[in-house]
Amino acid sequence: MFAERVLSGMRPTGRLHLGHYHGVLKNWVKLQAEYPCLFFVADWHALTTDYDNPKGIENSVWDMVVDWLAAGVDPSQATIFIQSRVPEHAELHLLMSMMTPLGWLERVPTYKDQQEKLASKDLSTYGFLGYPLLMSADILIYRADKVPVGEDQLPHVEFTRELARRFNHMYGREPGFEEKAKEAIKKLGSKRARLYEEFRTRFQQNGDDEGLALGKALLEEAQSLSHGDRERLYGYLEGGGKMILVEPGALLTEASRMPGLDGQKMSKSYGNTIFLREEAEPLAKKIRTMQTDPARVRRTDAGDPERCPVWQFHVLYSDETTRNWVTQGCKSAGIGCLECKQPVIEAVLKEQEAMRERAQPYLDDPSLVRSIVADGCDKARKLAQETMREVRDAMGLSYS
Ligand code: SF4
């Protein structure tokens, strides 16, 4: 049950651009080959800041999922779903809101930052304050132990870990826990039971982390245990109560180095983007008219690639030989800027061509996308329901 699992989501903001591709999607494509992955459209998150303008959300969702597929996210490897189609996220959010101290939410670093950044919007709402809690519910409901985040989002993962700890501490102490755990040990079989006791003693008496790791590995392998017993034994191993929610770990991802056409961060609000699946001619035109080193006013002026946004594209798209050609040609005024941009245009077009090809079947038949998402929602919902049964049980809401 506590198998490795990656969870990551994206707000539906419509068509994606190269910044999303290099910052997030390329990493998703890599992760899907390494772990079971759940990728979701965070449509409720979009409403925390755009509650007054929900009209575009639906179209944005489908455009975005087509971009994911175009970028190489593979539904046979990863589960793709929409947050609001799995209402258990909202239930866990609500139940956790009962035990989340208000101060914890107010102290989340992005709370004040975002309010200041989006000063034109009225974000003094309950939904916006609770947004980190919703994010925690998204993670905890799948017992996802790997959350890809940039450094700036680490506090969110830590917040989620604290919440899981608080929840387990508060509700994981079921009556007769110790007796139930001992009964569960017997179900491991005599050899495994003996090893489990040995690993538990090593960890609890000597603080031996290897003992803890071995105990966890043993539980992962023990197929015959029910979910409830497995949770008890995880908790008993660590010396706590029943572990209901799993503390996630962060998978630190490098910040995207993809600059916009003007050298600033690529962002729709700066109007400096290249969209995924953009038509060849406008795309080439955008790169041809990109800013360059301001010192190169005339063709005969020498330039410095480090002061030129085009160079950042070469760093991402060109091989060493091309990069040497650029450096020498720019510094000696041996090449012109249009000449310098040509390999970038070709490389981006090539990348886009593969994306357009992958997207075409979904554009021809949008029902394919609907059915991928419907399947993903079913799979995600089953996992979420499994957790919610334990959560309801622990909070006295199972009514069985
Ligand atoms: S030659 Fe290339 S790197 Fe140099 S200023 Fe022109 S576009 Fe930029």
Q: What is the pLDDT of residues 327-370, one digit of tens each?
A: 999 999 999 999 999 999 999 999 999 999 999 999 999 999 99
In the reported structure, the alpha carbon of residue 261 is separated from the centroid of ligand 1 by a whole-number distance in angstroms of 13
Q: What number is the average pLDDT over the span 296-301? A: 91
Tokens standing for residue 139: 């993670």
- In tens, the pLDDT along 229-288 reads 888 898 889 877 788 999 899 999 887 778 899 888 888 888 899 999 999 999 999 999
Q: Is 275 helix (H, G, I), strand (E, B) or coil?
A: strand
Residues sharing a CB contact under 8 Å with residue 59, sequence separation 6 or more, in sequence order: 14
Percent of the chain with pLDDT over 70: 99
Tell me the best of 308, 335, 341, 344 to mutate to test the pocket of ligand 1, counting ligand atoms within 8 Å of each CB and taking the most: 308
Residue 163 and residue 136 in contact, taking contact as beta carbons nearer than 8 Å? yes
Ligand 1 neighbours, Cβ below 6 Å, are 292-293, 296, 303, 305, 308, 310-311, 326, 330, 335, 337, 340-341
Quickly state the pLDDT bin for 169 (edges 50, 70, 90): confident
Tokens standing for residue 122: 């009225």
Residue in 390, 100, 138 with CA at minimum distance from that of residue 244? 390
Q: Given this chain, do its domains 6-171+366-395 and 277-364 carry the same CATH topology?
A: no
Quickly state the pLDDT bin for 1 (edges 50, 70, 90): very low
Q: What is the pLDDT of residue 264?
A: 87
At the topology level, CATH places domain 6-171+366-395 in Rossmann fold (3.40.50)
**Residue 191 marked in a binding site:** no
User: Residue 107 has what DSSP assignment?
Assistant: T
Q: What is the pLDDT of residue 175?
A: 76
Q: What is the pLDDT of residue 223?
A: 82
The strand ranges marked E within 107-218 are 146-149
For 277-364, the fitting CATH number among 1.20.1250.20, 1.10.240.10, 1.10.3720.10, 1.10.760.10 is 1.10.240.10
pLDDT at residue 190 above 70? Answer: yes
Q: What is the pLDDT of residue 257?
A: 72
52 vs 46: CA distance, rounded Å: 11
Residue in 187, 140, 142, 190 with CA at minimum distance from that of residue 165? 140
Q: What number is the average pLDDT over the span 122-141? A: 94
In the chain, domain spans: 6-171+366-395, 174-238, 277-364
103 vs 22: CA distance, rounded Å: 36
Q: Which range in 53-57, 121-125, 244-248, 322-326 is most confidently predicted, on average pLDDT? A: 322-326
**Residue 11 marked in a binding site:** yes
pTM: 0.85
When the pLDDT of each residue in the chain is averaged and rounded to a whole number, the result is 92
What is the CA angle 294-298-304, rounded to 5?
45
129 vs 111: CA distance, rounded Å: 7
Atom 6 (ligand 1) nearest CA: 337
Q: What is the pLDDT of residue 55?
A: 84
User: Residue 254 has what DSSP assignment?
Assistant: P
pLDDT at residue 149 above 80? Answer: yes
Q: What is the pLDDT of residue 3?
A: 60
pLDDT at residue 89 above 80? Answer: yes
